[in-house]
Amino acid sequence: MHRPQIGKNVQIASTAVIHNNVIVGDDTIIEDFCVIGYPAKNAAGPLIIGNNSHIRSHSILYEGSSFECNLVTGHSVLIRENTIAGRYLQVGSNCDIEGDCEIGHYVKIHTDVHISKHTIIHNLVWLFPRVQFTNDPFPPSKYCEGIEVFDLAVISTGTILLPGISVGFASFIAAGSLVRSDVADLTCVGGSPAKKITTIDRFHNYRYKISLPWPKHFREGYPLESYKMMDELLEKISNLK
């Protein structure tokens, strides 16, 4: 167990608790009543928070997790041990990430999202408020079937994802859906249970004159360094059609 390592220009509120086995990158802000590096029996190593991160009040991050630069949380976020995440992860208020998860770069998670253990989320994914991941195929049991969400997927508000499914590349799930089976690449689904509506090349909003895939019309809030990845994924979509 090592004493915490705190980088340069880090701001830590007087009410925050910083445990041992923590590495905090430069220019990070940790607000009031946060618990950083909460001890975990199964932690794989220290808690690592990358440079230029911002942890808002009442958030709890367990040891054993690792976040690259520019992590931003809302208030009262819980992230358990052995969660590995890339650059520019955004996690909204009251979210719960249950640990042993893998999260890619530039992922945006809105308020009140629950992410169950052994979830894998790839790059540039959107999770809107109150999305619920599950992993127990026959609750309560000792079995765990993680969910995998591929690049550019959008999961809309109030969606429930059942254990073991995959959400395909550049797919779209409509609000309030119950997803019981795999979602194919480039496909829009919705309903309870969710069924195919159309493919993304046919999914348009005529009022606003926009269409999928979303990086063609929405890049606000993303750093310039992410545009190269977006363009590569757009080219991949063109090649799959």
- Judged against a pLDDT cut of 70, whether residue 1 lies above it is answered with no
The mean pLDDT value for 33-50 works out to: 95
pLDDT tens readout for residues 90-124: 999 999 999 999 999 999 999 999 999 999 999 99
- Judged against a pLDDT cut of 90, whether residue 168 lies above it is answered with yes
- Angstrom distance (rounded) from CA 17 to CA 32: 9
Q: Which fold has domain 112-241?
A: UDP N-Acetylglucosamine Acyltransferase; domain 1 (2.160.10)
Q: Write down the pLDDT at residue 2.
A: 78
**Domain residue limits, the chain:** 1-109, 112-241
- Judged against a pLDDT cut of 90, whether residue 141 lies above it is answered with yes
Q: Which fold has domain 1-109?
A: UDP N-Acetylglucosamine Acyltransferase; domain 1 (2.160.10)
pLDDT tens readout for residues 184-207: 999 999 999 999 999 999 999 999
Q: Write down the pLDDT at residue 191.
A: 98
Instruction: Output the pTM of the full model.
Output: 0.96
- Angstrom distance (rounded) from CA 111 to CA 131: 9
- Judged against a pLDDT cut of 90, whether residue 241 lies above it is answered with no
Sheet strands (E) in 54-93: 54-55, 60-62, 66-67, 72-73, 78-79, 84-85, 90-91
Burial 118-128 (b: 16+ CB within 10 A, else e): bbebbbbbbbb
- Judged against a pLDDT cut of 70, whether residue 223 lies above it is answered with yes
Tell me if domain 1-109 and domain 112-241 are identical in fold: yes
- Judged against a pLDDT cut of 90, whether residue 140 lies above it is answered with yes
The mean pLDDT value for 129-141 works out to: 97
Percent of the chain with pLDDT over 90: 96
Helix (H, G, I), strand (E, B) or coil at 81: coil
Helix (H, G, I), strand (E, B) or coil at 200: helix
Percent of the chain with pLDDT over 70: 99
Q: Radius of gyration of the chain from Cα atoms? A: 18
What is the overall mean pLDDT for the chain?
96
Q: Write down the pLDDT at residue 44.
A: 85
Q: Write down the pLDDT at residue 217.
A: 94
Q: Write down the pLDDT at residue 218.
A: 95
